[in-house]
Amino acid sequence: MKKILSGIIAVVSLSGSTLRADDITRDSQEALRIGAGPRPIPCTSLRAHLQRSTKETVWQRDSLARFKSTFITVDKNVKLEVVDWGGSGRPLVFLAGLGNNAHVFDQFARRLTATYHVYGITRRGFGASSAPAPANGNYSADRLGDDVLAVVNSLKLNRPVLVGHSIAGEELSSIGSRYPDKVAGLIYLDAAYSYAYYDSSRGDLIIDSLELGRKLEQLIPGMGPQDQKQLVEELLQTSLPQLEKDLQEEQKKLQAMPAQQQQPGGFSIPAQAVLAGQQKYTDIRVPILAIFAVPHDLGQLFKDDPAARAAVEAVDSARSGAQAKAFEIALPSAHVVRLANADHYVFRSNEDDVL
């Protein structure tokens, strides 16, 4: 059986061409192997696919993994933990999802060192990395992307392949859209959602709300242009109608969803800052491999209520499927793979397939 990450070879050798469709077989697309260890329950509400990290969803360091940890300065008073799992060959750099640190890849990375030199970065605000105040754009998507490039430059890595999970898709897209010559390719591990690619035909409630808020701030005297005519017209003709459309769509989804118990806890301050720093990315000009879990494995969610479970799965499948299709159509450099009933942590639930 061919493995998905064998597509890395095509990514770095075709110089902008699309990955071949046969880089993954039908059998591997339909494989439902579930890896050991705890899994987060996929979120199908407003914050879909941005699972917060808890003691159940953060994996501790793999005691069998051999690695070196160093700290690299990427900004004033900001150092990031960089993990080096060793290996030889083209560099791969792993970026973790929201709330996780680089060690979430300890087990996975170990299986790649025979062919690649594998690194991981813990983003600012998490793990052992510095946690600057959530102000002045410290956690914007482009700022986080710049952090990754600072590490790449410090290590003198020549056009690495970047591999991101979940919210790390925004860092991949930030770099791929602004500095396509700095990387050989991007691999999205259930990470190509609206924070990584904004589909203007569908919109996104979070991103559109954030953008609207930034525009509204410019109406405050001294905060925006003196002549606000164009800004007001844009708000009335584009921004507000888009937000209304987003809200109507969200209302439909909420009405289709069964009531859920509120989970204890919430997002950490850095996690909230990352969510508030999302940006629109539409033009990503590098070879791409994007793996989607469509639909997600729901784990134990509503296991005793088949009707409720079916409703959640329908909403999740529609949302994930629509995003995968939009990503595939809009980005000709992307090869999109769909894994049915895989976990959001697809590199764990379907490790053999992904490898």
Find the CATH number of the domain harbouring 192. Answer: 3.40.50.1820
Let me know how long the chain is. 355
> Residue 261: inside a domain, yes or no?
no
d(CA 24, CA 2): 6
Same domain, 239 and 348: no
> Residue 323: inside a domain, yes or no?
yes
> Residue 262: inside a domain, yes or no?
no
Same domain, 152 and 233: no
Same domain, 280 and 192: yes
Q: What Å distances lie between residue 351 and 1, 85, 112, 189, CA to CA?
A: 13, 18, 12, 11
- Structure tokens that stand for 56 in this block: 């159940």
Same domain, 18 and 64: yes
Same domain, 186 and 298: yes
Last residue of a domain, one of 229, 256, 283: 256
| Tens digit of each residue's pLDDT, the chain (355 residues) | 345 665 554 555 444 333 333 332 322 322 222 222 333 333 334 344 334 444 444 445 555 568 899 999 999 999 999 999 999 999 999 999 999 999 999 999 999 999 999 999 999 999 999 999 999 999 999 999 999 999 999 999 999 999 999 999 999 999 999 999 999 999 999 999 999 999 999 999 999 999 999 999 999 988 888 889 999 999 999 999 999 999 999 998 888 888 766 665 678 899 999 999 999 999 999 999 999 999 999 888 888 899 988 999 999 999 999 999 999 999 988 999 999 999 999 999 999 888 8
Same domain, 239 and 324: no
3-state DSSP percent of the chain in helix, strand and coil, to 5: 40, 15, 45
Same domain, 113 and 140: yes
Cα 264 from chain centroid (whole Å): 24
Same domain, 84 and 141: yes
> Residue 252: inside a domain, yes or no?
yes
Burial of 343 (0-12, 13-18, 19+ CB in 10 A): buried
Same domain, 230 and 274: no
Last residue of a domain, one of 256, 278, 297: 256
Same domain, 87 and 115: yes
> Residue 67: inside a domain, yes or no?
yes
> Residue 263: inside a domain, yes or no?
no
- Structure tokens that stand for 299 in this block: 């784990």
Number of structural domains found in the chain: 2
Same domain, 155 and 25: yes
d(CA 218, CA 222): 8
Question: Whole domain around residue 60: which residue ranges?
Answer: 4-199+269-354
Same domain, 163 and 285: yes
